[in-house]
Structure formats: structure tokens, C-alpha cells
Chains A and B, each alone.
Chain A
Amino acid sequence: MFSGSFILQIVSETSESKYLGLFNKARQKNETVAGVILLICKEALQHHGISLSMEGVVNLQLSSKSVGVFEAFYNSVKPIQLISSNIEVAKAGKIPGGKTEIPFEFPLHTKGNKVLYETYHGVFVNIQYSLRCDMKRSLLAKDLSRSCEFIVHCQPQKSKVIPTPVNFTITPDTLQSREKNSLPKFLIRGHLDATNCVISLPLTGEVVVENSDVPIKSIELQLVRVETCGCAEGYARDATEIQNIQIAEGDVCHGLAIPIYMIFPRLFTCPTLETTNFKVEFEVNVVVVLHDDHLITENFPLKLCRL
């Protein structure tokens, strides 16, 4: 009837602060999502019931290059529901004009033996949790609906992570490349302080250009997600870049340790995940660009966890 004057909003109380406007403070398992539904309307409003639903879904998608190969398999990729529940907030009736707050609380209980995964926004795998509030109205007026995402962080793993430094040396000989003989001489050494990383702490290490016949143009850290979707019939594995951080620009001083430092972006990373249907893994590439645009890449699989 007059949807313009009506506002329905869900406020998650437990979301204490916001992260880039999306939401924030992650919920952990066995906790509750609580908040208020905020209704603002200029005058009294007739409705046929207000309901609130919570849903957690893993969306899987195949990359275009995989689709051709696994055409048969394509259909089998359907969203995996992790959690779902629905409650009635208010029976049909009338809301007085002004501001109305209806508090609510959902326990985060999974269906059966399903596990709640951490919120993750990827390319082929998406794990998302949302609240949705619906207001049913008479035939003449449109139903109203509003939803918001909330974030789930896993409970920290009990075991302590013991950092295992990884040393690396890159020379033309260590490269698996056909043209390794045509490459100029160089020796690049370095180490990562750990490859089993805590997701809230930066990835650190050092890289040293010991010598190089050709000037170096740039050294970059490329954070890559490796997403695998599949089942018994087969699987699709795709690696895509999350972010690329330049740690050196120009011909850096030889023999001087350049710090490796990268903060894992929120949302786009989650603890390494391995399930029967999909996997989310992360890798980091140390990319050295030579002056003639030669790329030298050293790959390190990472294992992310939350402490």
C-alpha cells in the first residue's frame, strides 16, 4: 500500500561492530545470534505475520573451463545447507506507528552431524550465513523482506601451532622451466617464518637477492586460493589470485634482506577447509619479476588456522 513509509530492519545485537559495512564480529559455534527487528513506520500498519529465518549455505560453482569437461557432473553441484531455522516473530495483527523493536535470538545448532564452516567469500566456493525477516501482508500490499549477513568464525583449534620456517633458494637451476638455460644468472634466497599460519597474524619472512645478472624489476607476494569442488565422479580444482602485494620495487640492493609481510584479507580467507564435497586451500607465490619481464615464481602451500 504505502511501502515508502515503512521500514523493517534486523539489528543483530551480537554484531557489536561492523566490518566494512557488511557485518562483523564473528559468531562461534554453539553460540547464539541475537538482535532486534526494528520496524519503523509512519502510521499503524496491518500485517499477516512476521517471520525470521536463519540460513547457512555453501554455494559451489564450477569454473567455465571445467564446465565442458564435467558436464554430467555439473548438475550434481548444488548448494549445501549447513544450518536453517525459522521462527514466527509476530502473529497477524497491527504494528503501531513509530519505532517498534522486536528482540530475537537464534541458537546456532546444526542439522544432524553437519559442521559450521567459517564465513568465506571465494570465486567457486562461498560460505555465507544470513538472517532474513519477512512480513506477510494483505493481497493488495507487497510482502516486505529484509536480510543481513552475519559472520561465523570457528572456535580456535585447541592445538598450538608450532611455526615451521621454510627456507628457499631460487636459481635458474631450481626452476622447472624449459628455458632455464636461456635465463640470466641469479641467486635469490629467503625464508618464510611459517607456512602453517594463524589467519589473524601476518605472513612473514625475508627474501634476499644475493646476486642477479639482470636487474630486478619487482618482487611480489601473490596470495592464491585453491578451490576444489567435486565428489566421487571427479573434481574441479581452480587456483585464483586473492591479492598481490609488492614487497620490492626496482633493482633492490643485493645482499639486503627484504621483509616479506602480508596481512590475510578478511572475508576472502578462512582457515584451510577440507570436506567431502569441496576444499578451500591457500598458497602464496613469491614472484620475482626481472627487468626483461621474466617471471620467477616460487610456490608455497599454506595451511591457515585460527587461534
Chain B
Amino acid sequence: NQRCGLEAALVDFGDYHPLKPIMVTDTKTRRGTRKGSTSSSSSSSSSAPPDPLSSMLDGTDPLSMFAAASASETPDLGRRKREKEEEAVGPDFEPWSLKRGEILARFTTTEKLSINLFMGSDRGKATSQGSAVSEKVRTRLEELDDLEEGSQRELLNLSQQDYANRIEELNQSLKEAWSSDQKVKALKIVIQCSKLLSDTSVIQFYPSKFVLITDILDTFGRLVYDRIWTMCSDPRPLPDNFTVEDVNDTAKETCLNWFYKIASIRELLPRLYVEAAILKCNRFLNKSAIQETLPRLTAMIRGIGDPLVAAYARAYLCRVGMEVAPHLKDSLNRNFFDLLGTFRQISSENVRAQLVLQMVEMPEYLTLYSPAISWILQCIAYRAPESLLTEMMERCKKLGNNALLLNSVMRAFRPEFVAARATDFIGMIKDCDEAGFPKHLLFGSLGRSLASADPPESERLTILNEAWKVITKVRSPQDYINCAEIWVEFTCRHFTKREVNTILADIIKHMTPDRAFEDAYPQLQTVIPVQSVELHFQFLLFSVLQERFLPFLDMFQKDSVRVEVCKSIMEVFIKHQVELTRDPVILNAMLHICKTMHDSVNALTLEDEKRSLALLIIGFIRMVSFGRDFEQQLSFCVEARATFCNLEPVLVQLIHTVNQLAMETRRVMRGNHSRKTAAFVRACAAYSFITIPSLSSIFSRLSLYLLSGQVALANQCLSQADAFLKAAVSILPEVPRSISVEGKLRSSESFLLDFINSFLATLLVIPDHPEHGVLYLVRGLLNMVQDYTWEDNSDAKVRVYISALPLLAAMSQETYLYSIPKVDSNETLYGGDPKFLSEINKLCETLIGQILDHLKTLGRDESTRRQGALAFSLFGVLLAHSDLRNNKLSQLAVNLWNLSHKHGYCETRTSVRTLEFIKHQTQQPDMAHLSDMVQRLTLQSRT
């Protein structure tokens, strides 16, 4: 038969044509369905309406076909463009995305939620409530008939998280439906979702529900807009500021279809929300369409009976309006005036009954409004002229100073505006009736405005007094601290110690009973940094410290919280304290704080935590200075050492401080110590000497010993210096072969070599101890090096020997290269005694012997590269420090040169430069003997 043939033809038809679905067969079936569902009576609203929407949308979706026809998609362009337009609002407008999270976090519930979705048929709630059983049966049957389309899903007993997840699922299925060309399904999802907004059960969750569902609406609006936009982007994308003329007819028609479809949605709320969601699409149709639609939608909201639902619908409309046409202020204002007009609804019988049923108190109910109203007011107040704000305020006043409105006004309007009228606002707050909206919230909002804008100077004290009068009467500690926290900043900024003290005292008084402070740590914590960032921070904080601050700190009895507070204080202190201080009040308080931090360290404390605590304490120690009173400073260090014994970095800092103190004393005495100062520097040395062993890091110990030794030497404390160096030498064997550097295990060799080299440099000026033998320390060190278990296959020991040679050479000079004032080095002690020189020579011989032995071993081990390098460095030392007039030595040097070049591992550039240096040296007087040697040094070509 013919029809079959047609159908088959249809399937095969690959090419798109706009009129493809226009088939009589199609139309006929459509008419059939509609007839079936049409009721014959017009008198009952509960009869299932023949829905032109669903009947029109049955079957193949024409929009999907358009979509297929539309040119390659450019969603990115669309997005970019959108972002650009949003910018038109300006960065100073607090965007919805910020509010969003705030609302979700604030309005939560533990009650069970439910989602009721009728996919498919548009039978409203009226039906299901009207006839009970038969309807249920019918729905069930329909469900069986058509699970996909006509299914009704009722999800009960959802927790809040479940609910959010479900909504997100819907959001996803919306996107999926859209991308798989099921535009009808997409629209149905959106309609069903917006329907959920008329449900005010579990009312305390409503604001969050609004946020979740409007996310879906936003997605939908974006999808539709992008789709139509891409339809016009052939051949080239639409410009950002396109006009109606740029839009082609197909796109216009599609756009119009959406509006027709939405206009036939039965229920008010979905119709309103969905049209608002695609408000932006009006740009495709008509220049003034948005301008005409906004007032109409605004008026439409009047039909919503529930005041909360209406308020949020207004918020959504304002939000969309701000995004799409921020210049259309009129409908924003209109919305607000309508809101004021319907305000009495809030206290209507209906609402009361609902609250009783849900067991929600009036104050809590009222706070549910604040996000919506604040948002509307924020939109209105954005770049609004002063006169408008004044008018708004007057209108609110006329409504009997409704607290809820007042609160929103204070939060939404510019802080400067509020601050300038602070006295007025206080008057209005006073006039509010206590029953509905708690006053401390109002004062909280006022305080927030005053924190960022200053009220007239003359009124400040009155404002504070008036506000605090109310705040101090707040009974619940939680409410109290929430409000007080805000006002502390205002007080700190404009008032003196006395007022701040009073307020802190009041806070302590309120928070102490029943250990209320335990619940308020976050708020109490903010009191401190807020207070301290003030410019006259020092003046305030420290004068307050003595009387109130420490008791205030005592409120933080939970260790972790207390340490956090201390840390934030210390951070502020280090940042703002520019001068060194000796103020006993500050020191006392800071020591107390630091001790608290230090005492929190235990075996479980993380390294990072320790480090940050140590840094803060070090920061404090560096700030302490008693000026010329060095003894006082030393005793402070003694005290600090006792207090902070668990944090090594602090001890290290203390040792440095003490060393610095000794050097400072020397500077003051210009190097000539009196008996008293000599005793003092010895005390300093003693301090270091007994502190160093308590450090666990071996290299800290070594370097501090060396440093302290140097300091002691500089201060003519010979025996102390000796002791330091001896101690350093004696702990050398303890150095482990590998240490952990930044968490990684690394060989300690290079560190050790560095240390020994600088140690050797110091040894030059150390006079020999009269009771010990010649070169006692040098020998000691070399013995330690000899005995130390070096790494296998390491040249480190020989490297030490090689670097000891220059020291010995320097020691044999008549005048040393450097010396320490007022300290007699070996040059003066021995005065070039031949015995001393021969000792040195003997030592040198031993060392060179050892080195040569090692070189031989290397030759055997085939480690020729290492051999060459070592031989070359020994050659360098000989060249620089030895008397090459000695034939044996010069022969040795030549041999070493040859050895290093034997295997061709030598860097030619270095060799060439060395040769050039030697040739240059031969020009010098007394250096003629070198020319002879140069002849024997040959450069080897690389083989």
C-alpha cells in the first residue's frame, strides 16, 4: 500500500529539506490524539486540557531538524560573546555566582525533601488532588504504557545532598536531551523543574532550591540562545551588537516558536520562569521586545499568591534583567514597588498556617526572604542616583519600618549612603517591632556598612553607644558574638583604647558563662586580625593587651584554635612592628603568645607546622632589642632558650643573636674589652657553648661551633675559641654519610668538604695551645679526616689533604695573610722557629705521600679520570704554594702534569690557560726558574 511506501521513502531520505515533515499522514495522527484528550465541557478547570503545546510537539521535533540544518556550531563564539555582555554590568556589581554559594551554604535543612516530576502530560496538581484513586490508577497505567514520556516520578525522603544531586542529574539530562535533539524533552524538564519552585514544603530550604533550579533555567536559556545564535551565524557569525535585521527568517521563526510554546504553558510559575530564562532571545525578534517583556513579566508575578515564591520569582527576573538589559531600570523598580505592595501577604493567614504546620518561627521565615530582597535591592542600587535610594528608603519607612526591608536596604545600598544616614537608620531600627525580625541582625548589617564607610565624625560615638546598648542585651551568645564581631572593627577604627577595652570586656563577659566561647571560636578569631590591621594598631593593641587582651585570649581554650589565633596575632605583629622594641608590656604579651604556640608542638606536629611556628617566633626574637643594655638582652635570650627549647630553628636564632651581641659589644668597646665586657663576652661564648650541643642537626652544630669560635677569637677569648673548635673537630666523626635535604637523601660529602675548607681557613689564625703540641688542631683535624669512614671510591679524603697543603704553606710564612687584632697567631708565637717549620715540612711530606699513594691506587683501579683530576689539582697547589726552585718539587710538579695529561681527560682549555699563567709568571722577578719547567710541560693532543 501507498503509505508503507511513503514511510520507507521517508526513512531513506538523507537530505534535509525544510518541508520534509509536512506530511498529511503526520497531521492526521496528531489530530486524532488531540480529539481524544479534549474534554467536552468547559466548566471544569480540572478536566484535562487539550494541550496545544504537547500536541504540537508530538512526533518528530521540527526544531531538531532546524538544528541539523544550521551551519556548523560555534558555541564558543556564543559563550565568549555572552561573557562580554555580562561585563557590561561592570566589575563592581557583585555577581550572582558569589551569592549562589552563600545561599547554598546558609539555607540548609535536615528535613526530608521530595521531588515530584510529571514528565509528559501537563495534568497539574489540581487533578491529582481532586480525584484520588482513579487518577492514581490512571497515572500508573500511563506509566506502564509509556515509561519514557508520560512517567511521573515522585522521589521521596531525599536528604538535602540527594536533592541537589537529583537536580544536577536533571541538569545533565537536560543537556543530554538537548544535544540529542530532543528539544521537547528538554523543555519538559525545564517546565517540571520550575514547577518545583511553587512547592514551599520544607520552607527553610527554599532559597537553596531556588538556586539549584535557576541553575537549570540558566542552562536552558543559554542553550536556546546559543542555538538560535548559531542559526544566524551562517555565513559568518553574528556581530556582538547585532540588530534584528541581521537575523534570518528561519532563526526568527524558531525563536518565535519557542515563545509561542512557552506562552501556552498552563501553569503560571513555569510559564513565568521559562520565559524569563529565554528573555535574551527577544533580541532576535524585536528591538524593543525586552523592554516590553520585562514589565509584562513583572506584572505577571502579581499572580503568585505565596509571598516567598513571588519574592524569589522577582529576584530571578531582576537577575535575568540585569544580565540582559542592565539599562532597563524601570522594571527593577517596578518589581520592588510591587514587592512592597504585596508585603502584607507575609503576615497573612495562609502563611501563618503554613509556618505552624512546618514548625518554623516567624524570624526564621523572614530571613528566608533576605537573599531575594537583597538581590533585588542590589540590582536597583547599582549605580543608582542618590535620589532613587532616598526614595526607596522613604517607601520602606512608610511601610512601618519593616525590619526585613530595612535589613536588606542596609545590605544592598552603598555603604557610604548608609553610613551618612547611620543615625536615621538607628532611629528606624529602634522603631521596628521586636517580634518579626531580630534587631541584632539589623545592627549587624548596619555595622557591616559602617565598617567600610565612615559615618560623620560627630555622630560616631552616639552610633556606637546606641548600637552597643542593643547588642549587649542580646541573650544568645551566638547571636551576640555574630553581631559584636562586626562592631569591633568600627570601634577599633574610630575610637581609643578605652572604648575598645570596654567592648572587649563586654565580649568576655558575654562569652564566659557556660563556656559559650567554645561555639564562637571563628567569630572570636576574626575579632583579632580585624582589630589589628588598623593603622594605629600598636597604640591600640598593646595598650589593650595588658588589661583585656590576655583574658580575651584565654577564652580560646581549644588548643588548635588558640594556636591559630596566636599565629594570626604574630603575623600581624611581624608585619606591622617596624621598630625594635623593649617595651615590657609587649614583650610579656608576645612571650606569652609565643609560648602558647611553642607549647602546642608535640611529637605529632608536622614539620611544616613547626617551621611556620618557628619562623613566627624568630620574627619576634629579631624584634627584641634592649639597646645598650646587653646584659638584659642576654638574659632575655636565656629566658627564650628555656621557653622555646623544642624548636631548633629558634635556638639557632638565639645563638646567632648572642654571637651578634658579643660582636656588638666588641664594636662598642672598639675592640678593647674592659674587665666587665670581657666577662660578658665570655658569658656569651658560654651561652653558645652550652646551647649548641642541644641541636640535633650536625651541620648546624658544626657551623655554629665554627662561627662561635670565630666570634670568641675576635673577642680575644682564646680558650673559648679553642674549646669551640675542639668540639667541632670532636664531633666530625659523627657526621653521617648521607643527610636529608628537603626530604631527599643526599650525600653529605660536599657539605662536609665545604665545612672543612672554611674550618682550615680559620685554623690559620688560631694560636697553638701552650699545653698541647705544635699544630695541635691541624693534626687533630687531619687525624679525624684520616679516621672518618668516607664513602667508598671517594676522593674526599685526598681532597682534604690537598686543601690542607695551602694552609700549611700559609703557616710557614713570616707574616700571615690575615690576622685578628689583639690576637697573636702562630707567626708571633713561633717567630719562624726552624723547629716549627720543620714540623710543617714533615706534615707536608706526609700529606703529599698520602696523596701520591692514593694516585697510585687510582692508576691500578683504572680510575684514570679521577686520577688525572686529582693530579692536576695537586699540581695547581704546588704551582701556587710551593717553592719550585726545589728540584725535587719541580720534578714532582712536572710528573703530576704529565700524569694528569696521560689519559687525555684533562680539559685542554684549562691546561692552556695554566701554561699561559706560568709563562706570564716567568716574566716576574725571582720566577725565572719556572721557565725551565715550562719547557718540560707539554700539551697533549687528544688521542
Contacts and interface: CB of A to CB of B under 8 A. Distances in A.
B9 A295 contact: no
A64 B62 CA distance: 33
A143 B19 contact: no
B631 interface: no
Interface stretch (A44-52, A68-76, A77-85, A214-222): A214-222
Interface in A123-155: 123, 126, 128, 130, 132, 142-149
A193 interface: no
A258 B303 contact: yes
A142 B5 contact: yes
A78 B301 CA distance: 48
Given A218-B45, A253-B302, A145 B6 contact: yes
Interface in A273-307: 283, 285, 287, 289, 293, 295, 297
A253 B341 contact: yes
Interface in B537-552: none
B861 interface: no
Interface in B1-56: 1-2, 5-6, 8-9, 12-13, 15, 17-24, 27, 31, 34-35, 38-40, 42-47, 49-52, 56
A241 B253 contact: no
A121 B31 contact: yes
Contact of A7 (B9, B39, B341): B9
Contacts of A194: none
A67 interface: no
Nearest to B56: A20
Contact of B42 (A22, A240, A251): A240
B23 A148 contact: yes
A297 B43 contact: yes
A241 B38 contact: yes
B644 to A, nearest CB: 68
Interface stretch (B266-274, B323-331, B622-630): B266-274
A287 B43 CA distance: 9
Contacts of B12: 4-5, 7
Q: Of residues B8, B22, B305, B348, which shows the largest number of chain A Cβ atoms within 10 Å of its Cβ?
A: B22
B42 A239 contact: yes
B599 interface: no
Contact of B23 (A146, A219, A295): A146
B40 A247 contact: no
Specify which of B17, B42, B52, B306 lies most central, judged by the most chain A CB atoms within 10 Å of its CB: B42
A289 B45 contact: yes
Interface string A213-253: 00111111010100000000000001111111111111111
A178 interface: no
A10 B6 CA distance: 13
Contacts of B269: 249
Contacts of B5: 3, 142, 144
A170 to B, nearest CB: 15
A220 to B, nearest CB: 6
Interface stretch (B257-265, B652-660, B677-685): B257-265
Contacts of A12: 19
A247 B268 contact: yes
Contact of A21 (B62, B198, B341): B62
A242 B52 contact: yes
A295 B267 contact: no
A24 B350 contact: no
Given A5-B12, A123-B38, A16 B249 contact: yes
Interface stretch (A108-116, A159-167, A184-192, A263-271): A263-271
A10 B19 contact: yes
A243 B52 contact: yes
A293 B303 contact: no
A239 B40 CA distance: 7
Q: How large is the interface on A (under 10, 10 to 19, 20 to 34, 35 or more residues)?
A: 35 or more
Contact of B22 (A8, A21, A256): A21
B606 interface: no
A261 interface: yes
Contacts of A11: 17-19
A65 B40 contact: yes
Contacts of B296: 259, 261
Contacts of B56: 20, 267
Interface centre among A4, A19, A217, A241 (most CB of B within 10 A): A241
B672 to A, nearest CB: 96
B2 A249 contact: no
B348 A251 contact: yes
A267 B59 CA distance: 17
A257 interface: yes
B19 A23 contact: yes
B44 A246 contact: no
B344 interface: yes
Contacts of A63: 40
A147 B24 contact: yes
Nearest to B2: A145
Interface centre among B43, B252, B350, by most A CB within 10 Å? B43
A256 B298 CA distance: 13
A38 interface: yes
B303 A259 contact: yes
A38 B6 contact: no
Nearest to A263: B263
Contact of B31 (A126, A146, A253, A297): A126
B305 A241 contact: no
Contacts of A21: 21-22, 59-62, 65
B24 A148 contact: yes
A243 B43 contact: no
A253 B342 CA distance: 6
A257 B24 CA distance: 45
B19 A15 contact: yes
Contacts of A247: 268, 300, 303
A136 B61 CA distance: 31
A246 B304 contact: no
Contacts of B62: 18, 20-22
B345 interface: yes
A259 B52 CA distance: 22
Contacts of B349: 215
Contact of A248 (B2, B6, B20, B303): B303
Contacts of B52: 242-243, 265, 267-268
Contacts of B344: 253
Nearest to A217: B126
Interface string B341-360: 11011001110000000000
Interface in B298-341: 299-300, 302-306, 309, 338, 341
By CB atoms of chain B within 10 A, which of A15, A126, A146 has the most? A146
A240 B37 CA distance: 11
Contacts of B302: 248, 252-253, 256-259
B267 A246 contact: yes
B588 interface: no
A6 interface: yes
A12 B300 CA distance: 40
A19 B51 contact: no
Interface string A13-38: 00111111111100000000000001
Given A18-B19, A21-B65, 12 more contacts: A10-B19, A21-B22, A22-B62, A24-B253, A123-B34, A145-B6, A217-B126, A218-B45, A246-B266, A249-B268, A252-B303, A295-B44
Nearest first, the 3 A-B pairs at minimum CB distance are: A250-B305, A21-B62, A248-B303
7 contacts: A3-B9, A9-B19, A224-B42, A238-B40, A239-B42, A248-B303, A249-B306
Interface of A: 3-12, 15-24, 38, 40, 63, 65, 121, 123, 126, 128, 130, 132, 142-149, 215-220, 222, 224, 238-253, 256-259, 261-263, 265-268, 283, 285, 287, 289, 293, 295, 297
Interface of B: 1-2, 5-6, 8-9, 12-13, 15, 17-24, 27, 31, 34-35, 38-40, 42-47, 49-52, 56-57, 59-62, 65-66, 124, 126, 130, 198, 249-250, 252-253, 257, 260, 263-264, 266-269, 271, 296, 299-300, 302-306, 309, 338, 341-342, 344-345, 348-350
